[in-house]
Each structure stands twice: as C-alpha cells, then as structure tokens.
Amino acid sequence: MDKLVIEGGKSLSGTVRIHGAKNAALPILAASLLADGEVNLTNVPHLLDIEVMLNILSRLGCQTRHEQENVIVDTSSANSFHVPDDLMKQMRSSIFLMGPLLARFGEVNIYQPGGCAIGERKIDLHLQGLKALGAEIQEVDGQIHCKASKLIGADVHMDFPSVGATENIMMAAATAQGTTTITNAAREPEIQDLQNFLNQMGANIIGAGTDTITIQGVTHLFPCSYEVIPDRIVAGTVMIAAAVTRGCVTLTHCNPAHLTSLIHVLKRAGVQIGVCNDIMNISCMSRPKAVERIITSPYPSFPTDLQSQVMVLLSLADGFSVMKETVFEGRFKHVNELAVMGADISIDLNCAFIRGVQRLYGATVEATDLRAGAALVIAGLAAQGKTIVEQVHHIDRGYDHIEKLFQKLGADIQRHTPVLKQLDLAN
C-alpha cells in the first residue's frame, strides 16, 4: 500500500486548478448507458472510483477510453445487465448502474455495494423508488435481481433526501412511460449536473436543485458531449489546507456558489476569502478562531464530506468548537488519528467536542476512509515534524494524486510506493 510522507509546517502558496467532480462524473458515466452510441465527457478526473466505474462499463460490453480529462463511452455494444460482484464491492457508486440497466435491458443483477466504512449505508430508498416505477425486486444471498418489462412514471417521496437514490430514480424515470415526481429529493449540485446531462441527451427533467424533481419520460435518449462540474469537496479540502497552514492560495476552475456553507464557516473562523467568477483566493495570516457549532446535513447545509477536514482546522483554532454529524453514523474515525497528532477531541454519540491546541505534531496515521484520509493529509501539512499517512488508496478514490496537488502549492509531501507494487506496475 502507498504511503504519503509529509514534512509539515510550510505555509501553502500558489495557484491550483480544481479537477472535475467525482460525485457528478460517477452517475453521469452510469447514465451513459441510457443512450445508444458514443458519449463524450470532459473534465473527468483520474480517480480510482472512476477507473472502477469504467471497468464495470467495459465488463457490461461498452468500449471506454480515458485520456487526459476526457472520457469516451461507446455503449452501442453493451450486452450485459450483470454487474460483477468483485467490482460492485469496490465502491458504493456501483449502485448507480441499477436505474440505467433496468431502463435499458428491463432487468439488472447486482450485489450489495461496497464503499467507505462510514456507516450502515443502506440502499432501501433506491429499491423503494425503483419498485414505485414498477420494478420487481428479489434479494437472495446478497444478490439483488430487479426486473421490469416496462417502467411507469410514479410519485416517489423520499423519507430522507438521499443523493444516490434521487439520482438512481431520475435515471430510471428518464425513459419511463409518463411522469415521475420525486418529492423531498436531494438538492446537491451533482444532481443538477445529472439533470443537465440527461436533458442534453434528450430527457425532459426539471426541478433538480429544489426538493421536487419532475421527470417527463421520453422514448429515447441520444449520445451527447458534456462537461462535468468542478469538485466542490476537493476545492473545500484545498481551502481548509490553505487556512490551517496560514497560507495564501488561489483556486481556479471551481464553483464558489457550491461552497457557500464552507465559505461561511471559514469566514467565521477568520479566514479571508475573495471570489471572482470561478476563481477563489484563500488566505489566513493568524490562528483560526473556533466555530461554536457546525452541523452536517444535506445540501445546502454543511457537507458531511468536509466534516473531517474542517475538524483539523477546529483542532488548531483558538477556542472550543462543536461538530455534529447527522448524515453518516460512523464518520468520526479520523478523531483517533488526530488525537495521536495531539488534537484534543472528545466524542459523544454524533457530536465531537474540539478544544483547539496550539500545534499538531507529526505521527504515523492511517487513512480509514476517503475524506478522513484527506483530513490527515491536511493535518500533516500543518503539523510540526514528519507525518506518514498510510492506506493512501482510500484517498486516491477521490483526489487525483493529492501529493501533486499540494506540491504545486509548495508543500513537502511525497508518495512512497512499495517496491513490489512498482515492479507490478512496470510489467
């Protein structure tokens, strides 16, 4: 397994371009299956999760190519609705294949998906939505078989605004007969991006970005070209890293409107933020201030995907902060690792109580999941001395070479790849 070795204590400075959004690109790649022919996507990042999705599409019979930031998916030879168990277990987003495969083949076989260990992560809302559209679903020994000779539009109310379930239902409903209305839908920017992509293919969908999405089914979707939105979580990670290292960083190709809640929190912590179109400048010349209370919840509230990174800032802030996590129940695994680096955090159920310390100290720590791993990298950049972050494959799921991103900003961070793996890659 790769490791990142960080000599901390350097203020970040310089300019970085933010890559395309993983969480937008993954459902869009799955949705390509709804059209017959060559879909051209730009601004698709090089990430482990994207690689897994492209592998799945290949195993389903599609031709795929990923060169620089461009992906071509030719779906004309797609010939299977069985998503392989081994790939299904590699990431939660493999569940996105359900809606499109059901719409294309009238049938789909999948397994319970894998993904970051941050909580129970059920798929009942996905299944309920597809059932409402007419699918028959059977689950035997972890294998889920879903069948519908015809999908028919329906009213679907979500008990919780699940991002993935909203997207799965949108994809299944795009070519269903009649109108589907999703109420209490998730409102994340990635859902708007999926709506724009589906409409570009000829779908008739309105309302993404609000809590009611209306999908008027059409008979056919057609291949198209589309540019994926920037990754708001990568942008947020860099902003927080700039703040904790007391640096001055410019982000380009980002969308500040997607980061309103983080900008608000950082400003309360005393961080200076300048915004001009798709460019943001972040600077922080003094110790950040504590933020009394932050609560994660669905967009546009504070994103759970930035909770662990902001906790690093609060660990170093002047004063006492409280962070409440309401989306995933198992998302405080970074706390033990931050404690090894000198953070003063205690947990009670889904609340973290953080007493800011003057300094974090380098240590050997383990990335337990994607965003927890990013938080440890930020902590290492701010810490005094050497930090080694292990299990970097988690971070590679969502950041395209995180070490290169921070090297551009002057950080002393290196990736160490085991010799055996280097030999493997060379063969």
What is the SS3 assignment for 162? coil
411 near ligand UD1, judged by CB under 6 A: no
Taking residue 311's Cβ as centre, other Cβ atoms within 10 Å add up to 26
Please list, in sequence order, all residues whose beta carbon lies within 8 angstroms of the beta carbon of residue 136, skipping any fewer than 6 positions away.
146, 147, 148
Distance between CA atoms of residues 367 and 357, nearest Å: 22
Distance between CA atoms of residues 368 and 362, nearest Å: 18
220 near ligand UD1, judged by CB under 6 A: no
Return the number of the residue (26 or 290) whose C-beta is nearest ligand UD1: 26
CB 337 within 8 A of CB 376: yes
165 near ligand UD1, judged by CB under 6 A: yes
Nearest CA among 94, 114, 98 for reference residue 54: 94
259 near ligand UD1, judged by CB under 6 A: no
Distances (CA, A) of 294 to 97, 118, 163, 273, 328: 34, 19, 21, 19, 15
348 near ligand UD1, judged by CB under 6 A: no
Return the number of the residue (17 or 122) whose C-beta is nearest ligand UD1: 122
263 near ligand UD1, judged by CB under 6 A: no
Q: Quick one: which H or E segment has residue 7? A: strand 3-7
Q: From the CB of 128, what's the least distance to ligand UD1, in Å?
A: 8
Q: From the CB of 99, what's the least distance to ligand UD1, in Å?
A: 13
Residue type, 218: V
327 near ligand UD1, judged by CB under 6 A: yes
Q: Which region, judged by CB under 6 A, interacts with ligand UD1, from 104-112, 163-171, 280-288, 375-383? A: 163-171
Nearest CA among 254, 69, 121, 101 for reference residue 168: 101
Distance between CA atoms of residues 45 and 24, nearest Å: 11
Residue selected from 305, 366, 390, 400 as contacting ligand UD1 according to rule CB under 6 A: 305
Taking residue 19's Cβ as centre, other Cβ atoms within 10 Å add up to 24
387 near ligand UD1, judged by CB under 6 A: no
Return the number of the residue (32 or 387) whose C-beta is nearest ligand UD1: 32
Residue selected from 64, 94, 162, 180 as contacting ligand UD1 according to rule CB under 6 A: 162
- Six token digits for residue 382: 């701010």
Residue selected from 124, 139, 155, 344 as contacting ligand UD1 according to rule CB under 6 A: 124
What is the SS3 assignment for 377? helix
328 near ligand UD1, judged by CB under 6 A: yes
Distances (CA, A) of 10 to 244, 283, 330: 10, 14, 32
The C-alpha angle 261, 263, 264, rounded to 5 degrees, equals 65
Residue selected from 23, 237, 245, 307 as contacting ligand UD1 according to rule CB under 6 A: 23
Return the number of the residue (52 or 244) whose C-beta is nearest ligand UD1: 52
Residue selected from 10, 126, 232, 246 as contacting ligand UD1 according to rule CB under 6 A: 126
Residue burial 82-99, b: 16+ Cβ < 10 Å; e: rest: bbbeebbbbbbbbbbbbb
Taking residue 42's Cβ as centre, other Cβ atoms within 10 Å add up to 13
Q: From the CB of 333, what's the least distance to ligand UD1, in Å?
A: 14
Return the number of the residue (36 or 51) whose C-beta is nearest ligand UD1: 51
Q: Which region, judged by CB under 6 A, interacts with ligand UD1, from 141-149, 157-165, 204-212, 306-314? A: 157-165
164 near ligand UD1, judged by CB under 6 A: yes
170 near ligand UD1, judged by CB under 6 A: no
Residues annotated as catalytic (active site), given as ranges: 116
192 near ligand UD1, judged by CB under 6 A: no
Q: Which region, judged by CB under 6 A, interacts with ligand UD1, from 39-47, 155-163, 177-185, 260-268? A: 155-163
Q: From the CB of 309, what's the least distance to ligand UD1, in Å?
A: 13
Judged by CB under 6 A, the chain residues 80 through 99 that form the site for ligand UD1 are 92-93
Q: Which residues bind ligand UD1 (CB under 6 A)?
A: 23, 26, 92-93, 119-126, 160, 162-165, 186, 190, 303-305, 327-328
